[in-house]
A and B are shown apart, each in its own frame.
Chain A
Amino acid sequence: MPHELRNIVVKELREIVRDPRLLIGMIIVPVLMMPLMGVGIRSAMEATQVEVSKMETGLLNQDRTDGNYGRSDTLYWLMVQNNVIIRNSTAPDTNSAVSWAVQNDIGTLVVLPPTFSEEIDSGRSVNVSVYQVLSHFGFDEMAGSERVNMVFTLFNNIILHEMLGDNYNSSNPFQPPVPANVVPQSVVKGEIINVSPSNLINSIFTSGMLIPMAISIVIVLAAQLAATSVAMEKEQKTLEVLLTLPIKRINILLGKLSGVIVVSALATIAMLLSFGYYMSSFTTIGGTQVDLAAVGMTPDMTGYALLAASLFLSIISALALAVLLAAYTKDVRSAQSLLGILFLPIFLPAFLLMFTSVDILPGGLQAIIYAIPFSYPSIASKALYTKDYAVVALGVVYQLVFTAVVLFIAARLFASEKIMTARLKWGRKRKAEPEME
C-alpha cells in the first residue's frame, strides 16, 4: 500500500475507533443485531413446534354406513400412528362441532360424512371437510391441517393400493379419483369461510407481510431526520444562537419534532401508496390469492384508526429518542451512527411479527416485544385481520405513556445546559465537558 494511502487509512481508522458513537452504531449494534434476531426467530420457531405438537385435532365421525366403521377406523388408526392428538366430538352436526372446536381451543376439525365408508367401498370419491380454526393467521396455524392432509394422503394411498393391488402407482396421473377428497375450510371468529386456510394465510401474509417492515422504515427515516435536525444545529453551530433566543426550550423541541412529523406523515402516505400499488400487483399472480373482501376479511375503520395511532406514537417516541441520542453527539455523522442503537428495537419486532404472532412466543421474548413501543404498529397491522384490538388499544396507551416520558426527558435535556455539554465517553459515564475557551 502506498505510503500516502496508508497514512489516510490509518487516520480514518483512528477516527472511527476513537469515536464511540461510530463504533456503537456501525459495529456493536450490527454485531448484536443478527444474533439477537437469530435468537428471536429460533425461539419463535421452537415455540411454534411446541404449539403444533400440543395441537389437538377434533373428529366428528358421522360415518354410519350399515354399522360399518371400517374406513373411518383405518383413518383413526393412521391419525394415531402419526401422533395426531384426537378429540372425538359428539356434536349433532357440523356447525355445532365447529363451535365446540372453537370453544375448546381445538385447531383442526375433521368431519367424516355419514357415507364415508360406503362411498369409498363403492370406489367413489367422498368429500371430507377439514376445518382449521384461525386466530392469528400465523404459519403455525397451517401445521394442524397440513398434518391431517398428510394422514389423508397416506389413507388414500392405502385404499388405492388395496383397490388396485400391484397395478397401483401413486405417480400415475390416470388413477381412479382419490377415495377421500379433503375440502379444506377456514374458521375465523367462529364463522366458517369456504376458503383453504393455507390460501387465506398466504393471502394475508402477502398483503400484510411488508406492512411491519414498511412501518419500520418510516420510523427509522423519521428518527434519522430528527437526529440530523439536532445534530446539524450542533454541527453548524446554530443551536447555540437558538438557545439564547427569547423562546421556551420546549417550543424549540416541539418545533423541531413537528417539522419532522409533517415530513414523516408525508413519507408515510407516500410509502403506503407505493406499497398499495405493490400489493395490488400480487393479486393476479398464482391463482391461490383469496379476495379478502369477499370473505369478510377487510380491515375496518377501528383497525385503521388503531394502526394510525400506534404508528403515529411510534414515530413520536422514535423522534424523541433520536433527539435524546443526538444530544450526545456533536455532528451529523456521529448522530447517524449512534442512531443504530434504535435499529434493533425497531426492526426486531417487525421481523419477528412478519412470520409469527406474539401469543406463541416464549414469555421472556413476549415481554420484550410488548416493552418495545415500536412493536405495536406491527401488532396493529396483524389486528387488521384478526380484529383483536384489545392488545393494540392497551399498546396505544402504553405508547402514550412511553412517549410522554421520553418527551419529558428530552424537554428536561433541552432546558438544561446538558444539551450543550453532554458527550459520550468511553470507559466512564457521560461527562459535561464543553469546549473551553
Chain B
Amino acid sequence: MMSTRAVAINGLVKAYSTGLKAIDGVTLTVDEGEIFGLIGPNGAGKTTTLRILGTLLKPTSGTVSVLDHDVVKEQMTVRGLISYLPEDAGAYENLSGREYLAFMAGFYEGDSKKTVDIGVRIADLKERIDSRIKEYSKGMKRRLLIARALMTAPKLAILDEPTAGLDVMHALYVRERVKGLIKERGTTAVLSSHNLLEVEFMCDRVALIDHGRIHEIGTPSELKGKYKAQNLEEVFMEVVKHAA
C-alpha cells in the first residue's frame, strides 16, 4: 500500500523585507507515520520552515500542504490537524499543569476530560500536575508542553527542539515518550534538533538544511553510508563544509 503524504513542501521560499531569504527553494515530503528530522546550524531556516508548517508564517512563494490541505488557503483546517511545539515555549505560569492541559483541550473537539487524562499520563508529573506551572522546573515544564502537543492525537506534530536545555534524565524521558507515542498512534512528526544523536535515535529520515536550502535528505543510515560517517554529526560536518 502506498503511503500518504503528510507533508508536501514544494519550492518554498521565505524572504523578508530586508531582502534576506530565510528559506530558498526547499522541496521535501514527509510520509504519514514518519518521524522526520530537520537538522542544520543556527540560522539555517529550520524554525522558519516549522513556523510555516504551523501556519504562523506565510511562504513568499512555493506551496506547503499538510495532508493535502494548503497551509495558507486552509489555515483553520491545517490547525485542526497539527500540534506545534515551539523551541523554549512557555506555559501560563499561574495555571496548574492540569488547568493548562484543560485549557488547551478546550480548543479541540471530543471529550476534553479524556484528552486531559491522556495529557496527564503523558506528562507523568504525578501530584505536581496540580501545582502552579511557575513552580515547575524547566524539565517539568517541557514534559507538560510535550503532553499538550501530543494529547490531542494530532495528525502532524511539529516539534522545534523538543529536548533543548533539558538535563539527561528529562531529555531521555521526552525522547522516548515522543517516539513511543508517535509510533503507537501513527502520528507524523517533523522535528528540528541540534542534538544529532537524538535525531538519529528518533527520526526515520532527516534533511540537512543550511542557508535556507536542503543539502541532503535520507535515512540516517543512508546518509552515514553516503558520507562514510560513524554518525550524523560527521555527516553534518561534511555537508556544512561542502555547503560553505
Contacts and interface: CB of A to CB of B under 8 A. Distances in A.
Interface in B183-199: 192
Given A240-B84, A241-B89, A421-B57, A431 B18 contact: yes
A437 B42 contact: yes
Interface in A419-437: 420-421, 431-437
Nearest to B76: A246
A246 B76 CA distance: 6
Contact of A437 (B16, B43, B76): B43
| Size band of the interface chain B makes with A | 35 or more
Interface stretch (B90-98, B115-123, B214-222): B90-98
Contact of B80 (A235, A246, A434, A435): A246
B132 to A, nearest CB: 14
Given A244-B55, A244-B56, A417-B57, A436 B22 contact: yes
A236 interface: yes
Contacts of A431: 16-18
B57 A437 contact: no
A244 B45 contact: no
Nearest to A235: B90
B170 interface: no
Contacts of B76: 246, 248
B17 to A, nearest CB: 5
A420 B87 contact: no
Contacts of B206: none
B85 A236 contact: no
Contact of B51 (A247, A420, A432): A420
Contacts of B80: 246
B178 interface: no
B43 A243 contact: no
A432 B16 contact: yes
Contacts of A433: 16-18, 20
Contacts of B108: 246
Contacts of B239: none
B90 A237 contact: yes
Given A236-B93, A433-B18, A436-B43, A244 B79 contact: yes
Contact of B56 (A240, A248, A435): A240
B68 interface: no
A328 to B, nearest CB: 15
Given A247-B79, A421-B57, 15 more contacts: A236-B91, A238-B89, A240-B84, A240-B86, A241-B148, A245-B107, A246-B76, A246-B80, A246-B107, A417-B57, A420-B57, A431-B16, A433-B20, A436-B47, A436-B48
